[in-house]
Structure 1
Amino acid sequence: MRRAEQGEQLADPGSGVRTPPSRGTAAGAQAVAGGHSTLPHPPDGPARAFPPRPLPRRAGQSRSAAGRAPGAGGGSGRGRRGMARSRPGRCGRRGRCGRRGRRALLACAAWTAGWVLAAALLLRAHPGVLSERCTDEKSRRILAALCREYEGGVLVGDLCEDLCVGEKLLYQRCLYYERGKKVLQADWRGRPIILKSKEEAFSSFQPLALLQDAADEGSQDFPEAELLLLVAGEVKNALGLELSGGSLGPLWPGRRGPRWRGQLASLWSLLQQEEFVLFSLLQDLSRHALPVLGSCGHFYAVEYLAAGSPRHRALFPLDGATGAPRGGRGQAKAVSDMALSFLDMVSHFEDDFSHRLHLCDVKPENFAIRSDFTVVAIDVDMAFFEPKMREILEQNCTGDEDCNFFDCFSKCDLRVNKCGAERVNSNLQVICDKIFRHWFSSSLWSSALSFPLQRQLREAVQECADPGRTARSPPRAAPDVFWKLRRLLRETQRKLQEAEK
């Protein structure tokens, strides 16, 4: 996550996603390997910067004879000994200039390949550097096109009327574009919201074949059982979950009306967006996920919350929190509240669903806090339930580094050159590493807590973030470190409350 304010919405795009190798990398490799040179041929003359390669030496032939071209002193070597030899140039008989030229060419090729490799690594670490520029002008054009398709009956949604007719959903600003994804801020009846879509245009999504088949047959009706199977199949494709019809309520299109075809086409475009599907299924089950507020065509709306950022001393903006904390003790109490909420989220995602939910892109920009310091995941593009996680991790490999999918790691089985399907680190471990380390190794606590308690917190966070630092430690954060952190954070809250009295 990349932007200034809204979770994934206002973060410096980064991370996350694997970027395909740059085309330039292959080109650089070809240059190093000795592809066709594009250098101009040197002019004819006695001093050639790149002399022709000596002819191969035949068995029994002397090294000096092998270096001569046919007709220039070959044969028995007799009869031409009186011929005056050409005087060697400044480079000498052995072509020192030629060797220097080749070395310079190789050095240049290596330098170029180094820059190509550095650029490829930069793009992998920060794929957003090539993201499309986010502008208000283009964002307004995108929404205008959306409204034209709504007016033409191509798409529908419960927010379309307010956006396109009633002017009760008003565009505010462009937050970011990234690899096709569009994220915009708007005001809906006085409430700040975020409009999101994985693609700019409605036509970019795969159409529902059922609609086309019915149109070809001149029918307006579709078997509901067939539609149910299609929706369940798309959910399985997006999340790896096999859900019964009763669990698909938040995704079901509802009653058939005059715009039934547009309703189905709009739903199908939303089902192809994994984040929409996940938010829709979690909105009544988790207070740590954003609820979906509505949609129009392929755009869906979620609650606006100010995202975290490394620029904030406490990683998250505290101005909007209830009783905005002041001073060292106030910030320390806010951090302990947020840390406990992170632990609650870890436990919730681990135990409260039919499958564990893995967070593979943990950074402040992908989370936000409510006014009561509840932590909310606002970007779940890289969140996967256990079945999908196993499918992602189980890839070919030649070493453990091939089995790292952002923040979710596996191990390479060199006997079969296959990554294990089981994740070897955990959500808690990554949160300790990327969030808690910043909090509990900073000066936030210098005057707020006793030194012994600060030291215990730092040691517990270190044990959580790096459980494999000793041979006897498990490869992933053990359950007891979770309870240790929880106990220390509750003790921290108690000490801070006592200090206020």
Structure 2
Amino acid sequence: MCSGRALRYGGARSCQAQGGPGPCRRRQLLIICLSSAWSVGVWFCYEYSALSLQCLDYSSGALTGDLCEDLCVAQKLVYKHCLYYDRGKKVIQADWRGQPIILKSKKESFSSYQHLSMLEEVETQDIPETELLLMVALEVKNALGLELSNNTMGPLWTRKKGPRWKAQVASMWSLLQQEEYIYFSLLQDFSKHVLRIIGSCGHFYAVEYLTAGHAWHKTLFPLENVMGPSLSGHRSRVRAIIDIALSFLDMVQHFDNDFSHRLHLCDIKPENFAIRHDLTVVAIDVDMAFFEPKMKDILEQKCTGDEDCNFFDCFSKCNLKIRKCGAQRANNNLQVICDKIFRRWFSPNLRGALVSLPLQLQLQKAVQECAQPGHTGATGHQRALKSLSELYHLLRVTQRELQGPE
């Protein structure tokens, strides 16, 4: 097992400042540490070393970011533990200046991302900003299927120049190869239903810490994390669930109507959402979220039956005459949320006698109808609007019935 001493060899001080063979010695010991971690499954050592390698790259000038100093020099950003690791994707919990945050990266290391070859061809900051903005726009179009104007690139390109300019562009390029980062960045100022980005260092970006839901949890989301001890009674929990359900409806309406294209969620489950203290629903994993143009490209595939047109929680119908899936999604975000989230909540067992039986039955019926696969085209759209309106109404009536002391 790697000792704490071995871990510190990948530490925060500048390798160049040490002189002599220090950098090579550190990297050699770090490789030994990584090998040990892999052979005995010591995840702490492995993940800590990944951030140590990040700091070696920062010290050498290969990457940069507004969190690098806190991570690699001031030690104000401290590793806690790994939350998720699969095929290179990392989700790490850390402590930043006394508050918990999440560090994310789609790939293993900075070198795993496509390199921007033009950076090797220039000695100074000679790449015109217009050319960089065009490259950013092309990358966004490739990732999300959206065409964006230069004046919308602010969250993705900070337009700073200085001694670390090449490292800044290289770091930006690694972040642009992560669709989730692009989503969160572009939607920061437009949506309360996505994670807030705190900063970045190289290919790692930091987002606010929220506890994800889980299918095995009785209420799907750990309400104790967002409710104080004084609000832990049954009535308060039920009120919170109603408020969260209304926030889900707000999110559905927001993703359907408030952007230039509808945003489709193709992996809807409690684990991909979290709840803020004000009971706002937040999408914390949008790897399987697609705007309409990209959604059409994904769905429109060859088929021999409808089952070939299923893409996780998004599906269309197979046109057997031309053996091709329709580009139009046959279901919608609301239908899947009713099926996978609301069905679990709206049963008599959850609310007991707090809500009148006729209202409970109405709400159950509305959820069951909403959860049924709909129709495509105008008929499906009208049906979704009707379900949305009915659920809004019934949930607000439920809110009024639940008013009053515990």
TM > 0.5 fold call:
yes
Percent identity between matched residues is: 63
The whole-number CA distance in structure 1 between the counterparts of 2:246 and 2:42 is 36
- When residues 371 and 220 of structure 1 are mapped into structure 2, their CA distance, relative to the original with a 3 A threshold, is closer
Give the equivalent residue in structure 2 for 1:187: 95
- When residues 423 and 320 of structure 1 are mapped into structure 2, their CA distance, relative to the original with a 3 A threshold, is same
Q: In 2, are the aligned partners of 1:394 and 1:421 still within 8 Å (CA)?
A: yes
- When residues 289 and 299 of structure 1 are mapped into structure 2, their CA distance, relative to the original with a 3 A threshold, is same
Give the equivalent residue in structure 2 for 1:255: 160
Give the equivalent residue in structure 1 for 2:269: 363
CA-to-aligned-CA distance 1:216-274 (integer Å, 9 cap, x gap): xx554112221111010001111111000000000013211101111000000000000
How do 1:248-287 residues align onto structure 2 when only pairs under 5 Å count?
Answer: 248-287=153-192
Q: Figure out how many residues of one structure are paired with residues of the other and give that number.
A: 363
Give the equivalent residue in structure 2 for 1:139: 47
Give the equivalent residue in structure 1 for 2:197: 292
The whole-number CA distance in structure 2 between the counterparts of 1:418 and 1:134 is 48
CA-to-aligned-CA distance 1:334-385 (integer Å, 9 cap, x gap): 1100000000000111111111111000000000001111100001111111
> Does 2:117 align with 1:209?
yes
Shift of 1:174: 0.9
The whole-number CA distance in structure 2 between the counterparts of 1:443 and 1:416 is 48
Q: In 1, are the aligned partners of 2:274 and 2:283 still within 8 Å (CA)?
A: yes
The whole-number CA distance in structure 2 between the counterparts of 1:443 and 1:278 is 38
- Out of 34, 38, 58, the position equivalent to 1:150 is 58
TM-score by length of 1: 0.70
Shift of 1:450: 1.3
**SS of match in other structure, 2:220:** coil
The whole-number CA distance in structure 2 between the counterparts of 1:345 and 1:320 is 21
How do 1:62-461 residues align onto structure 2 when only pairs under 5 Å count?
Answer: 135-214=43-122, 218=123, 220-323=125-228, 325-441=231-347, 443-461=349-367
- When residues 317 and 476 of structure 1 are mapped into structure 2, their CA distance, relative to the original with a 3 A threshold, is farther
Shift of 1:328: 2.6
Cα RMSD (Å) of the superposition? 1.8
| Structure 1 residue ranges (4+ consecutive) displaced by more than 3 angstroms after TM superposition | 322-325, 473-477
Q: In 2, are the aligned partners of 1:467 and 1:474 still within 8 Å (CA)?
A: no
Shift of 1:212: 3.0
Residue identity in the other structure for 1:158: D
Shift of 1:323: 4.1
Shift of 1:209: 2.6
Give the equivalent residue in structure 2 for 1:74: none
TM-score by length of 2: 0.86
CA-to-aligned-CA distance 1:153-187 (integer Å, 9 cap, x gap): 00000000000000000001111101210110000
- When residues 411 and 161 of structure 1 are mapped into structure 2, their CA distance, relative to the original with a 3 A threshold, is same
Q: In 1, are the aligned partners of 2:102 and 2:206 still within 8 Å (CA)?
A: yes
Residue identity in the other structure for 2:126: D
Q: In 1, are the aligned partners of 2:91 and 2:104 still within 8 Å (CA)?
A: yes
The whole-number CA distance in structure 2 between the counterparts of 1:300 and 1:367 is 19
The whole-number CA distance in structure 2 between the counterparts of 1:393 and 1:179 is 25
Return the index of the structure with the highest Cα Rg: 1
Residue identity in the other structure for 1:174: C
CA-to-aligned-CA distance 1:480-500 (integer Å, 9 cap, x gap): 1111000000000000105x3
Alignment gaps of 5+ in structure 1: 1-131
Report 1 or 2 for greater relative contact order, CA contacts < 8 Å, sequence distance ≥ 6. Answer: 1
The whole-number CA distance in structure 2 between the counterparts of 1:372 and 1:137 is 36
Residue identity in the other structure for 1:353: F
CA-to-aligned-CA distance 1:187-207 (integer Å, 9 cap, x gap): 000110000000111111111
Alignment gaps of 5+ in structure 2: 1-39
